[in-house]
């Protein structure tokens, strides 16, 4: 536990934020998450899977296409990692609040929503992606 905390503390200090560590491998918990990944990647940004430190990771993180290390948004899918969090409050509210306090924009995609209206979800993500790029230019 101490080792994981020290890795987390170092990465926060070194990178000035939360969740800077990513695996170079594409890790998907479900075909649903992989489908969302493919759609996000088609928007033009680099997408990281399971970005985070220790067991605290976001499913997908979209990096700015021209500013490596700058993330436009975190995308949480209601997959296995979501359901492994035992407290509803932790998985539905606290994770998002912590990310937002560190400057992240969080989008959540529900599997049922994806199955019923993936085109609508993609359109929403595209709008958010474009808005976040414009906001990054202004900042």
Rounded to whole angstroms, the Cα distance separating 5 from 99 reads 17
Note the pLDDT of residue 24. 53
Nearest to 43 by CA among 132, 137, 130: 130
Note the pLDDT of residue 109. 92
- In the block, residue with structure tokens 């998985």: 91
Rounded to whole angstroms, the Cα distance separating 79 from 109 reads 10
Note the pLDDT of residue 45. 78
Question: Tell me: the pLDDT tens digits for 5-31?
Answer: 666 566 555 444 544 445 556 778 788
Contact 28, 37 (CB under 8 A): yes
Note the pLDDT of residue 16. 45
- In the block, residue with structure tokens 């700015």: 64
Domain assignment of residue 71, given as a range: 2-138
Note the pLDDT of residue 87. 55
Cα of 82 vs its chain's centroid, Å = 12
Rounded to whole angstroms, the Cα distance separating 70 from 68 reads 5
Note the pLDDT of residue 14. 47
Question: Tell me: the pLDDT tens digits for 81-138?
Answer: 554 555 554 556 677 787 788 788 999 998 889 999 999 999 999 999 999 988 876 6
Domain count along the chain? 1
Note the pLDDT of residue 118. 93
Note the pLDDT of residue 128. 93
Note the pLDDT of residue 15. 46
Q: What is the CATH number of the domain that holds 112?
A: 3.40.960.10
């Amino acid at each position: 536990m101490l080792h994981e905390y020290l890795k987390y503390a170092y990465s926060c200090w070194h990178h000035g934020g939360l969740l800077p560590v990513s695996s170079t491998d594409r890790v998907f918990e479900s075909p649903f998450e992989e489908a969302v990944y493919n759609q996000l990647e088609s928007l033009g940004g680099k997408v990281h899977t399971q970005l985070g430190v220790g067991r605290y990771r976001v499913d997908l993180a979209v990096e700015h296409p021209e500013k490596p290390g700058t993330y436009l948004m975190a995308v949480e899918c209601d997959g296995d990692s979501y359901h492994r969090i035992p407290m509803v409050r932790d998985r539905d509210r606290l994770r998002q609040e912590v990310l937002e306090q560190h400057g992240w924009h969080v989008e959540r995609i529900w599997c049922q929503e994806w199955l019923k209206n993936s085109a609508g979800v993609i359109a929403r993500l595209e709008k958010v992606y474009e808005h976040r790029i414009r906001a990054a230019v202004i900042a």
